[in-house]
Amino acid sequence: MKDYLAARLRAVLSDLKGVPDGFEPELETPAAPEHGDLATNTALRLAGPLGDSPRAVAEDLAERLRADVDPERVASVEVAGPGFINFRFAEMHLQRGLEEILAAGSGYGRTDDHAGETALVEYVSANPTGPLTVGHGRNAVLGDAIANLLAHTGYDVTREYYFNDAGRQMRVLGQSVKARYEALAAETRGEPAPTKTLDGAEGESVEVPASFPDEGYQGAYVTDIARALFDEHGDALPSEEGVEPFQKKAEEVLFAEIEQTLGRLGVDGGIRMDSFFNEQTLYDDGRVWEVLDALREAGYVYDEEGATWMETTRTGKEKDTVLVKSSGEPTYRLPDIAYHADKFERGFDRMVDVFGADHIATYPDVLSALEILGYDPGKVDVSIYQFVTLVRGGEPVKMSTRRATYVTLDDLIDEVGRAVLRVDDASGEDVSDEEISDEEITRAGADIVRFFFLMRSPSSHLEFDLDLAKEASDKNPVYYLQYAHTRIASILRKADEVGVAFSDAPDLSLLTHEAEQALIKELLRFPDAVRQAADAREPHRVATYLRDVAQAFTQFYAHCHIIGEERDLATARMHLAKATQVVLRNGLVDILGISAPERM
RNA sequence: GUCCCCGUAGCUCAGUGGACAGAGCAGUGGCCUCCUAAGCCGCGCGUCGCAGGUUCGACUCCUGCCGGGGACGCCA
């Protein structure tokens, strides 16, 4: 409808003299229902250029539009306030819209705005140095939902995970595992293992093997990996030579864990990446050096103090940036540039990077380097999200990966899932009436975790209130949406039992109640809501929208019955309920990645 | 010091330059012989951090300041 009215406005405006070139009419859904179903500010914006008062321009435009517009779609065109033009939908438009929703089914909400275009969404991208934490969770869920949104606007989407298994971090991890392994081997031989003390969590001291790196990873998982190696190989692994076998085993174990965690974090197999891109390949095939040469040829690179620098002062930064250290080893920025160049070479029309706020200072370098290399940085969107604070009992939980004071995503899913299903945390015993499986805990936990990550704007610091998340009550906002879906499922089951059936030709004109009309209008906004969320890369807009849908539905539910009503009315209302279910399901499952249960 | 994000109801947060600023929770008052009350209907709740500016119109854009968080490395 928005598109239709925008087209009619453009047509009417083309008859007028003095309209600025490239003028695009704007249409919005007014906050107050008495201002109609859609409104435009066109007259206000054109009053100046046309040299007339806004009211007069509005009256003129409204007059022309009334003659132009299809009366089966638009019931009224009125001028109001300082010069707004308010449109009211015709009943026939609502009926047809409802039919379209039901006909489209799981395809409703999708548009072909970007049909034929490809997009790459890069997210998670955590190096395998430990389990995924709550912080990674926001990245993973946000990236996944953004990828879903882009797919809904027609993009052919590739989901990619970028990692580096050859850098300093991984070497330190390998050393950490090796130290634990050697201590384990010594202990088994009954030899004393020398130890030393490091700073651990919250100012406490931690005793570690003497060979443990000062910057080593203190998490228990490191010892688990060492133990696994010891169980496999005994103390046969060379203790004097390199860390390769330890690093390799750690990577293998941790990557398997990461994939498993991602697999839990969503409906239908969870988050599944299409591709894992190893930074190391950029070294192996020399691409890193090709990029450096190209930047040098373009005149943006110089050598000083044994290091190689990029003149980022020429691209708007305070300082120049080191690309290659005096050790001959590139900083991470150079492979980042090469990686993005590779994305361009693969021919994507649109590239989205989902990064935490700590990357905010680095990506401008990558974008300006790309521009220097002749790529269009406008094709890259960097979606920055702010950090997550986990709040338990009103107090923030402090986290550090290295010192092992993190909360893993797995633990978060488990803790929340167990709590809402009332499985006793300590014993794992069900304290509810029914047997509860691990799958159910995962689903319940993941639904809530995903929703909490997706209900806020990415630019907003996210306060994850564990106590609220663990409440299986109306306080927990995700249930409001799921409950509306469940309720519809329940009604449709019941209606079937008493013999109210869907019809090929329902009389939808019977849906005249205020609550019915409001609900239909809400449902018809879905494609536009998806489009706006996709364009902004902001999934929380879908969550906000779905809340409005659920609310419109429960109001309809409170006022309008199905069972017990006259047959034709009952049938028409069933169709409306079904259409609502379609929207809730498509939004929850296909975009937010949250389950839409049949029963609760 | 420079840069980025945030500052909206008691709390957590929505709010595409528009018409009297919204939701949930918390508070409070009603509503289950009726398709799940995980619900519905009321009530109260605001110097939209402060001060300027742009605009017919600013919570929204610009500048400055104040407060909270983060980034500024030959770490990733």
Question: pLDDT tens-digit profile of A65-84?
Answer: 999 999 999 999 999 888 89
CATH architecture under which domain A2-89 falls: 2-Layer Sandwich (3.30)
CATH 1.10.730.10 region(s) of chain A? 475-592
**How many Å apart are A459 CA and B48 C1'?**
18
Q: Is the CB of A575 under 7 A from strand B?
A: no
Question: Which of A's residues 450-489 have CB atoms within 7 A of nucleic strand B?
Answer: 455-457, 459-463, 465, 472-475, 477, 479-480, 483, 486-487, 489
Name the residue among A275, A176, A278, A272 with its Cα closest to residue A229.
A176
Question: Which of A's residues 123-182 have CB atoms within 7 A of nucleic strand B?
Answer: 127, 164, 167-169
Q: Is the CB of A353 under 7 A from strand B?
A: no
Structure tokens of A284?
């192996």
Structure tokens of A47?
């009053």
Residue A331 carries which side chain, given as an amino acid letter? T
ipTM given for this complex: 0.93
What distance in Å separates the CA atoms of residue A54 and residue A48, rounded to the nearest whole number? 8
Q: Which CATH superfamily does the domain covering A475-592 fall into?
A: Isoleucyl-tRNA Synthetase; Domain 1 (1.10.730.10)
Question: Which of A's residues 380-409 have CB atoms within 7 A of nucleic strand B?
Answer: 384, 386-387
CATH number for the region A118-164+279-385 comes to 3.40.50.620
**Helix or strand or coil: residue A170?**
helix
Q: Is the CB of A560 under 7 A from strand B?
A: yes
Secondary structure tally for chain A: helices H, strands E: 20, 17
Q: Is the CB of A427 under 7 A from strand B?
A: no
**Helix or strand or coil: residue A391?**
strand
| pLDDT tens over chain A, length 600 residues | 888 999 999 999 888 888 888 788 888 888 888 888 999 999 998 888 888 888 889 999 999 999 999 999 999 999 988 889 999 999 999 999 999 999 999 999 999 999 999 999 999 999 898 899 888 999 999 999 999 999 999 999 999 999 988 788 888 999 999 999 989 988 888 888 888 888 776 667 788 898 898 888 888 899 999 999 999 888 777 666 688 889 999 999 999 999 999 999 999 899 999 999 999 999 999 999 999 999 999 999 999 888 999 988 888 777 888 999 998 889 889 999 999 999 999 999 999 999 988 888 788 889 989 999 999 998 999 999 998 888 888 788 876 656 666 788 999 999 999 888 877 655 556 666 567 889 999 999 999 999 999 999 999 888 898 888 888 777 788 999 999 999 999 999 999 888 888 988 899 999 988 889 999 999 999 999 999 999 999 999 999 999 999 999 999 998 899 988 888 999 999 999 999 999 999 999 999 999 999 988
CATH 3.30.1360.70 region(s) of chain A? 2-89
CATH 3.40.50.620 region(s) of chain A? 118-164+279-385
Q: Is the CB of A326 under 7 A from strand B?
A: yes
User: E-strand spans in A42-185?
Assistant: 74-80, 84-89, 118-122, 156-163
Q: Is the CB of A498 under 7 A from strand B?
A: no
**How many Å apart are A475 CA and B40 C1'?**
16
